[in-house]
Amino acid sequence: MTNQKTAVVTGGVRGIGYAIANQLAADGYAVCVLYISPRADVGAIVDGLSVHGQPAMAERCDISDPTDRANALRKILDAWGRVDVLVNNAGIAPRVRADLLETTEESFDEVLNVNLKGSFFFTQAVAKIMIKQTEQNPDADMTPKIINISSVSAYAASINRGEYCISKAGIGMMTALFADRLAEYGIGVYEIRPGIIATDMTEPVRDKYDRLIAQGLTPIKRWGQPQDVADAVSVICGGKLNFSTGEVINVDGGFHLRRL
Q: What residues are labeled active site? A: 164
Q: How many CB atoms lie within 10 A of CB 191?
A: 25
- CA 85 – CA 145 distance, rounded (Å): 5
- CA 46 – CA 44 distance, rounded (Å): 6
Helices 15-26 and 42-50 sit at what angle, rounded to 10 degrees?
A: 30
> Quick one: which of 184, 238, 176 has its CA closest to 7?
238
